Amino acid sequence: MSASGAHLADVLARGEEEDRRRALRALLAAPLLTRAHPDFALVRRHAQALREWFARETGWDLIVEDDFARLRKQAADHADATRGARLRAPAGSPPFTRRRYALACLALAELERGETQITLGRLGEALVAAGAQPELAERGFSFRLEERDARRDLVAVVRLLLELGVLVRVAGEEESFVRAAQRDVLYDVNRRLLAVLLVTARGASLVARELVPQASVVERMHAIGERFVADLPDARNTALRQRLTARLLDNPVLYHDTLTPEEMAYLASQRPHIVRRIQDATGLVAEVRVEGIAIVGDLCDEHLPGEGTESHATLLLAGHLAAARAPVAHAELEQCMRGWIEQYGRYWRKSAREPHAEQELCRGAIERLCALALARVEGPMVRPLPAIARHALGEPEVLVLRGDPA
């Protein structure tokens, strides 16, 4: 092969490798991709290589069909409540509440039993009936279409399913339903996407017979996602490697103090190999520190730094916590936010300058920092975590350009 031919082959190979990386990052950021996603074509083209990599390195399954791709990704920590589901639109939508999660589960069950079309009103009536079950009532769940807040929660669930592609709007508008339940909306149900939403390793009915009635939600979630591991050294090591890789891909930061002794011992000897495989496959950069490892990239639902009022407020709060290096009281953080509103409010959205706006801005900023594993709420205090040091502000440096007056 000539030198020019070898160079062309090398360029093409690098292009294919970068395409695979881009497809893998797309799946990590959005485990359910439809044809409308800009990287869906890349995922389909490299489906086999991606399927093999995920199965080998994380134990996750990948389903690729003509019109969607589903990475059966399991949460690394079922007790982590810092990254709740949010709607992409409107921007700044609050995370789902417990009632919205419960409604989402009940809605999926109803859609699974239903036809290929459904109206918002009929779905709401079915959820009213399902929510009247004694087991749910005992846990404080209630849902009535006569309540405007209840209709708003139902609409939030439906809009999430619209974003996922499980529902397709045919006629009507959800906001009208919020104002008056008599104004209905018609949807098509994508049953193929509906069928791949649930990700479990074991059937819920099988697990229910093994658990005591008092088992917590976290215990139940762990049980349905638990995979069988043979009692052999190689099998245990493979399971450890896959679990650590999955946590590095799923969490913004992996802190050593969150690992079991067995996981820490394995990571101590295998860290360079695990990190290299992740970097080679994703193109992301691993930041290794004494406290843990962070895979730096654009895979999280939350971003810092970012654009807009909330992101600027979060960055300011992160800098304050990083400088403090110790737990800070909520009241002190709200006081700081009031000062930043006075300083930067003219650049922020109008509502940020309203009375008591610092409370909402501060709460949202703390939630984002917790979701990024940069802080942790401990009662009335907020503790900065080691990775927040990346956002510490240094001393300002004044540069005098040549030709400018000193």
Q: Which helix (H) or strand (E) holds 169?
A: strand 167-171
The answer to whether residues 124 and 187 belong to one domain is yes
The answer to whether 60 touches 54, Cβ cutoff 8 Å, is yes
The answer to whether residues 328 and 356 belong to one domain is yes
CB-based contacts of 262: which residues, under 8 Å, 6+ apart? Answer: 240
What tens digit of pLDDT does each residue of 156-173 get? Answer: 999 999 999 999 999 999
Boundary-marking domain end, from 72, 89, 115:
72
| CATH number of 166's domain | 1.10.10
Whether pLDDT at 124 is above 90? yes
The answer to whether residues 244 and 315 belong to one domain is no
What tens digit of pLDDT does each residue of 183-209 get? Answer: 899 999 999 999 999 888 877 777 777
The pTM for the full model equals 0.86
Whether pLDDT at 382 is above 90? yes
What tens digit of pLDDT does each residue of 298-350 get? Answer: 776 666 777 889 999 999 999 999 999 999 999 999 999 999 999 999 999 99
In a domain, 221, yes or no: no
| CATH number of 337's domain | 1.10.10.10
In a domain, 23, yes or no: yes
The answer to whether residues 283 and 318 belong to one domain is no
What tens digit of pLDDT does each residue of 225-252 get? Answer: 788 888 899 999 999 999 999 999 988 7
Whether pLDDT at 400 is above 70? no
Boundary-marking domain end, from 266, 296, 326:
296
User: What is the reported pLDDT for 10?
Assistant: 76
In a domain, 104, yes or no: yes
Most confident range (mean pLDDT) of 128-137, 269-278, 297-306 is 269-278
Q: What is the largest CA-CA distance in the chain?
A: 80
The answer to whether residues 319 and 377 belong to one domain is yes
Q: How many domains does the structure of the chain reveal? A: 4
Tokens 């069928």 correspond to what residue? 195
In a domain, 92, yes or no: no
The answer to whether residues 68 and 143 belong to one domain is no
| 3-class secondary structure, 189 | strand
Percentage of the chain beyond pLDDT 90 is 64
Angle (deg, nearest 10), helices 47-57 and 261-282: 160
Domain that holds residue 191: 98-197
The answer to whether residues 106 and 180 belong to one domain is yes
In a domain, 385, yes or no: yes
Query: What distance in Å separates the CA atoms of residue 130 and residue 143, rounded to the nearest whole number?
Result: 9
Whether pLDDT at 38 is above 80? yes
In a domain, 363, yes or no: yes
Query: What distance in Å separates the CA atoms of residue 178 and residue 153, rounded to the nearest whole number?
Result: 9
User: What is the reported pLDDT for 140?
Assistant: 84
In a domain, 84, yes or no: no
The answer to whether residues 292 and 313 belong to one domain is no
Phi, psi of 61, deg, nearest 5: -90, 150
The answer to whether residues 102 and 184 belong to one domain is yes
In a domain, 206, yes or no: no
The answer to whether residues 292 and 316 belong to one domain is no
Q: Which of 321, 316, 305, 303 is nearest to 352 (CA)?
A: 316
* Adjacent-strand bridge partners of 381: 329, 378
Q: Tell me 35's DSSP state.
A: T
The answer to whether residues 10 and 67 belong to one domain is yes
| 3-class secondary structure, 97 | coil
Boundary-marking domain end, from 296, 318, 350:
296
Token pair, residue 97, equals 């509440």
| 3-class secondary structure, 168 | strand
At residue 406 the predicted structure's pLDDT band, cuts being 50, 70 and 90, is very low
The answer to whether residues 133 and 68 belong to one domain is no
